[in-house]
Structure 1
């Protein structure tokens, strides 16, 4: 017997899997990454017990705990005129072509590198699919995406709740509290997201704490 977990690209569940293995060595977790377009398929088919998904999702029949937000970044060819900016705003891209969106983020980045235009990706995906011929720059006025933990209402048992507790940082002795209702935000998960959040650097791989940065058109290097 095992707990079956699915997660989308950009999510790194290793720390929770380690914590779970220490707490529940009797119940291993089978974790598999899935593509975002089919992120709920295994869960709804009863082939998975929990899933880390990228919102929004159709929440009917599901418990949903929103976790952390992902900063939006724009991916550009490294030789693009805006590539030296620290941050950008959506308006800075108004006159620039956009690369065709693909279900596979790696293919989207491939098209950007080929010079077809720019693409907007969550910071985690831009970092995951980084390559030397592209650069990811934070968008200061683009809506962030959000990762959530979901599971089926009829599959809500003690094992599921214990795993939820691990993700939410509860210790083995702490109370589980009330079961999350569909679309209910997790207060302690929100605190955790804020404590580990922060804005990525201009390439999308570090952190920045500055908020409200002006349009990057005022941050270009001279002569670009």
Structure 2
């Protein structure tokens, strides 16, 4: 029995020696993993989250497109604003009339659409808005279209984040006030204004545009590049 016990002790000693390197390696790996996590966390604190590349068309591409097709784009905006539909017809019928479909193609424009705000006469006059209240000055498309802010969506409307961020061109029927990087919208009868941020460039990461908002870059007094982001 003594020899058997001795053999068991030798086997147990050998197994114990084999386990020690495994436990040591496991301990080293654990320490390295913890250190790696701490290093990454420290770097994020110091540098912020990873920068995301903006894959939208650069401002300059949209601006170049505008100037290359300006006459046709302005004609589309003119037709949108001046069209008065006959009784029972929709304002959208304007895009089907005459050579307008060909004009869209020639201008490299996908569609025009109304966006806020609406610029009534004397847009910054509180007295004018209070006089307009209840008078139906913009009743129906025939009266309202000429006061609309219009977005011009190019055919090559590349998107980012699965269409939650996008760019287009914008025409405003008046030259809006811009002060300290803020576009001041028209006043309403309660004396309230809308406000939109204006930047020298929109070639940046979408996080610079807050969710459910738009930012602008002015090309000319009434023309802008716009970048918007949805709630998601």
Both proteins in one fold, TM over 0.5: no
Larger % of helix: which? 2
| Bin for the TM-score computed over the shorter chain | under 0.3
- Give TM-score, length-normalised by structure 2: 0.21
- Give TM-score, length-normalised by structure 1: 0.21
